[in-house]
């Protein structure tokens, strides 16, 4: 049994006010948190759920007594390194106060603590809808109802994916938890474990808490979504072979690309399978697909990027906020995505600012990878109406016998860097489309953005020019460009830039 530390023994006044049944070491008290919280109504203000490992009794009115096994809600986040005191709410007594952090834990001892997320119902649905989350996985979360928590469970029945929500009620007078009034439990863990062996949802029992990080699934069929769960709202864009809609998948906001008659369902299904294999923070996340019934349009479902395309975002950007440093970071973030595609030997084939998307937190992600593959499969259908992205395309990729190559993506990346640095300026804006390839074959290239009044260091322009070397084999790999860009950012802001630190983690 752990002993009291010397510093605690010296604090006699503090020691005399506590009765300890089991003797953990208590850290010296931090200054008291004197804030008061209406904890009975707003559970969302508490950041973490912990389990009491020991009894704690105190005569100090600012302390919160508790018993072994009590569920406590913390004002601040919990980690293994958390020391001292934290303001908490006791679910059993409905009281608040300060607690010693080495009397509690949130891992291993309690399935309820492992299942806790301080998120809304909508966010719970989003997390449970992610591919890789299995049937029966669940999240415990705040509820707006008095003396209640929310329990959200992934449930599939007859091939229909769904999220079920249940209220976990607490009876203050009896100290019991329940979902159904006729089956009550002393602890949350008892309630959860009961429904791990007793059917709760249409698909069966609870299984395990939804992991904080979900690995991608191995089975493509897990991405299939029932069409009835998807509601198209507003058309966001239209291409030669598809339309993109803002949509809801239950209460989760998503983007849906639909298949037009000019493209085949098989092409879109192959595109979905390609996206299934690619999982990276800098690629737009693939969420699912609908291919039934066969007479309905194919749906390809991805995360919704609120700020739209990078091209539109830059065109309307506040340049004092989206400054040169931010532009460097954006270019680097795209390069990180392309280095990943390069590593797994996937050619994007249509890299440009219009195909890079920006989310609500201004995270930049590459989209529409593999789209040109779909266009080429339909090359015999009606090429006359196709808009070929000549301004972003390497000279060799404009030839009829072109074999897709990563080095052509490197060329396109250099053009994208020009777009970013000029806030969406059209490449070769003084040239007609038919004039561009002859212009390039004569050895001409885009001038530095500085010629149009934008900032671009000579070193960065040299990186761009290296992407436009005539011989594809002489162009750098994306991994090399990524390293060069990191050096540029370090020179610009005096410190190394890590793209992953600026990514809003989905999990």
We find that the CATH architecture of domain 310-375+390-502 is: Orthogonal Bundle (1.10)
Q: Which range, of 117-131, 335-349, 417-431, averages the lowest pLDDT?
A: 117-131
Does the domain at residues 6-109 carry the CATH identifier 2.30.30.40? yes
Dist CA 68 CA 349 (whole Å): 60
More confident residue, 462 or 84: 462
pLDDT at 379 over 60: no
Q: Which range, of 124-128, 207-211, 224-228, 374-378, averages the lowest pLDDT?
A: 374-378
pLDDT value for 44: 60
In the chain, which segments carry CATH 3.30.200.20?
229-303
pLDDT at 197 over 80: yes
Q: Are 362 and 368 in contact (CB under 8 A)?
A: no
Residue 100: count of CB within 10 angstroms of its CB:
22
Instruction: Domain 229-303: give its CATH code.
Output: 3.30.200.20
Q: Could you tell me which residues are annotated as the binding site for ATP?
A: 257
pLDDT value for 81: 59
Dist CA 215 CA 197 (whole Å): 25
The two structure tokens encoding residue 25: 């070491």
Residue 501 — pLDDT band, cuts 50, 70, 90?
very low
pLDDT at 179 over 90: yes
pLDDT value for 208: 94
Q: Residues 317-330: what's their mean pLDDT? A: 93
pLDDT at 487 over 70: yes
In the chain, which segments carry CATH 3.30.505.10?
113-194
Find the helix or strand (DSSP H, E) in which 420 lies: helix 406-421
In the chain, which segments carry CATH 2.30.30.40?
6-109
pLDDT at 469 over 50: yes
The two structure tokens encoding residue 495: 């410190």
Instruction: Indicate the SS3 state at residue 324.
Output: helix
pLDDT at 54 over 60: yes
Q: Which residues are catalytic?
A: 350
Query: pLDDT (tens digit, 9 = 90+) per residue, 433-454?
Result: 999 999 999 999 999 999 999 9
Q: Are 88 and 64 in contact (CB under 8 A)?
A: yes
* 400 Cβ neighbours under 8 A, 6+ residues apart: none
Largest CA distance in the chain: 89
CA Rg value for the chain: 28
- Tell me what the pLDDT averaged over the chain comes to: 81
Report how far Cα 351 is from the mean position of its chain's Cα atoms.
22
Query: pLDDT (tens digit, 9 = 90+) per residue, 70-83?
Result: 888 888 776 665 56
pLDDT at 321 over 80: yes
Superfamily of domain 113-194: SH2 domain (3.30.505.10)
Angstrom CA distances, 308 to 240, 242, 269, 300, 349, stand at 19, 17, 24, 17, 20
Dist CA 104 CA 52 (whole Å): 4
């Amino acid at each position: 049994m752990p002993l009291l530390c010397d510093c605690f023994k010296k604090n006699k006044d503090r020691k005399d006010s506590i009765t300890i049944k089991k003797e953990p070491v208590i850290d010296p008290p931090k200054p008291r948190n004197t804030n008061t919280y209406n904890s009975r109504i707003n559970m969302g203000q508490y950041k973490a759920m912990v389990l009491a490992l020991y009894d704690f009794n105190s005569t100090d009115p600012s302390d919160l007594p508790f018993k072994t096994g009590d569920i406590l809600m913390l004002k601040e986040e919990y980690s293994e390194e958390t020391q001292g005191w934290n303001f908490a709410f006791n679910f059993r007594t409905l009281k608040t106060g300060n607690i010693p952090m080495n009397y509690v834990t949130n891992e291993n001892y309690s399935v309820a603590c492992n299942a806790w997320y301080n998120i809304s119902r909508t966010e719970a649905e989003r997390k449970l809808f992610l591919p890789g989350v299995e049937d029966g996985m669940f999240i415990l979360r705040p509820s707006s109802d008095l003396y209640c928590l929310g329990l959200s469970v992934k449930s599939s029945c007859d091939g229909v994916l769904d999220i079920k929500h249940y209220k976990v009620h607490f009876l203050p007078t009896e100290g019991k938890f329940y979902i159904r009034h006729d089956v009550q439990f002393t602890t949350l863990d008892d309630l959860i474990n009961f429904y791990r062996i007793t059917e709760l949802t249409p698909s069966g029992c609870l299984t395990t808490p939804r992991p904080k990080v979900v690995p991608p699934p191995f089975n493509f069929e897990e991405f299939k979504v029932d069409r009835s769960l998807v509601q198209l709202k507003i058309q966001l864009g239209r291409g030669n072979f598809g339309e993109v809609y803002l949509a809801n998948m239950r209460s989760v906001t998503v983007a849906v690309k639909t298949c037009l008659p000019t493209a085949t369902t098989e092409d879109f299904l192959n595109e979905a399978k390609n996206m299934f294999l690619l999982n990276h923070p800098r690629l737009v996340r693939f969420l699912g697909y609908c291919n039934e019934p066969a007479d309905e349009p194919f749906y390809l479902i991805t995360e919704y990027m609120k700020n739209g395309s990078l091209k539109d975002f830059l065109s309307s950007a506040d340049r004092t906020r989206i400054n040169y440093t931010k532009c460097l970071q954006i270019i680097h973030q795209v390069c990180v995505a392309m280095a990943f595609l390069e590593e797994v030997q996937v050619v994007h084939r249509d890299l440009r600012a219009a195909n890079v998307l920006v989310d609500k937190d201004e995270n930049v992600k590459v989209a529409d990878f593999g789209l040109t593959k779909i266009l080429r499969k339909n090359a015999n259908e009606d090429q006359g109406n196709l808009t070929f992205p000549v301004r972003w395309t390497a000279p060799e990729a404009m030839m009829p016998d072109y074999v897709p190559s990563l080095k052509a993506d490197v060329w396109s990346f250099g053009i994208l860097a020009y777009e970013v640095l000029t806030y969406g300026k059209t490449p070769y804006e003084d040239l007609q489309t038919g004039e561009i390839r002859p212009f390039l074959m004569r050895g001409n290239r885009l001038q530095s953005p500085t010629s149009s009044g934008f900032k671009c260091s000579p070193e960065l322009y040299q990186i761009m020019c290296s992407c436009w070397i005539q011989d594809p084999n002489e162009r750098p790999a994306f991994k090399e460009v990524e390293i060069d860009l990191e050096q540029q950012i370090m020179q610009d802001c005096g410190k190394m830039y890590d793209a992953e630190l600026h990514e809003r983690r989905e999990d």
